[in-house]
Amino acid sequence: AQKVTRAQTEISVVEKEDVTLDCVYETRDTTYYLFWYKQPPSGELVFLIRRNSFDEQNEISGRYSWNFQKSTSSFNFTITASQVVDSAVYFCALSTYGQNFVFGPGTRLSVLP
Amino acid sequence: DSGVTQTPKHLITATGQRVTLRCSPRSGDLSVYWYQQSLDQGLQFLIQYYNGEERAKGNILERFSAQQFPDLHSELNLSSLELGDSALYFCASSVDEQGSNTDTQYFGPGTRLTVL
């Protein structure tokens, strides 16, 4: 069975702090894809990243970085120097060939000024 | 802007009524997905259409149905509405050329349904 869990339900940080959101997944497939989405208070779901299981390189995009570790089945997301606009619910998702996306339960991040 | 459009943005109706939610996918995307997000809940997959045909079903109630038209827009019909159906309904689309379901899904802004 495919599954995505998170370590934290809610995280609260002060602006400019670094914060890491954890994503742990479970699948028996060797080929799979991992995603992160952001849902700000306005409600829309914004795509952030897609990563396949054969590419274990960490990725950096501005203040965002992702750490993929196959050995621990984790795909963690770090925001460096957090800003108030980063406040949102963040979802990790898993997809495998022919199967529906499985979304994790989401982590609510609050960045305080 | 993801390129996926959904109408209406908000819908308020009464129990027992029927409503239709509409979704237009991104240009070129063949797959359309519907999700339900209840208050403080995660995303529940409802149903997927691929190029006009039903591809997969999730936790969709029998009172709900959907279809995808030849121009690839999709409609989600919710009938005999109950208070518990109040939620945010998202449509997403993806290219999904290979039919693998692994391409990025781009989400519309959602329709917020309130059943009174």
- CA B100 from centre of chain: 19
Q: How far apart are CA B60 and CA B44, in angstroms?
A: 9
* Residue-level pLDDT at A5: 87
Q: How far apart are CA B86 and CA B113, in angstroms?
A: 5
Q: Do B100 and A98 touch (CB under 8 A)?
A: yes
pLDDT average, residue stretch B24-46 = 91
Q: Which residues of A touch B49 (CB under 8 A)?
A: none
Q: How far apart are CA A88 and CA A73, in angstroms?
A: 24
Q: Do A101 and B106 touch (CB under 8 A)?
A: no
- Give the chain B residue whose CA is nearest to the CA of A35: B104
Q: Inform me whether the pLDDT recorded for A24 exceeds 80.
A: yes
Q: Residue A99 — very low, low, confident or very high, per pLDDT cuts 50/70/90?
A: confident
- What is the least distance, in Å, from the CA of A30 to any CA of chain B? 13
Q: Residue B40 — very low, low, confident or very high, per pLDDT cuts 50/70/90?
A: low
Whether omega for the bond prior to residue A41 falls within 30 degrees of 0, making it cis, is no
Suggest the residue from B57, B96, B102 to mutate for an interface test with chain A (most A CBs closer than 10 A): B102
Instruction: Look up residue B114 and give its two tokens.
Output: 């309130």
Q: Does B90 touch chain A (CB under 8 A)?
A: yes
- What is the least distance, in Å, from the CA of A104 to any CA of chain B? 7
- Per-residue pLDDT tens for A37-68? 999 999 999 999 999 999 888 889 999 999 99
- What is the least distance, in Å, from the CA of A63 to any CA of chain B? 21
Q: What are phi and psi of B58, to 5 degrees?
A: -110, -135
Q: Does B33 touch chain A (CB under 8 A)?
A: yes
Q: Inform me whether the pLDDT recorded for B77 exceeds 80.
A: yes
CA-based nearest residue to B47, from B70, B21, B86, B27: B21
A80 in helix, strand or coil? coil
| Whole-Å CA distances, A111 to A79, A85, A86, A87, B13 | 11, 8, 7, 5, 35
* Residue-level pLDDT at B103: 87
Within 10 angstroms of residue A3's Cβ, the number of other Cβ atoms is 12
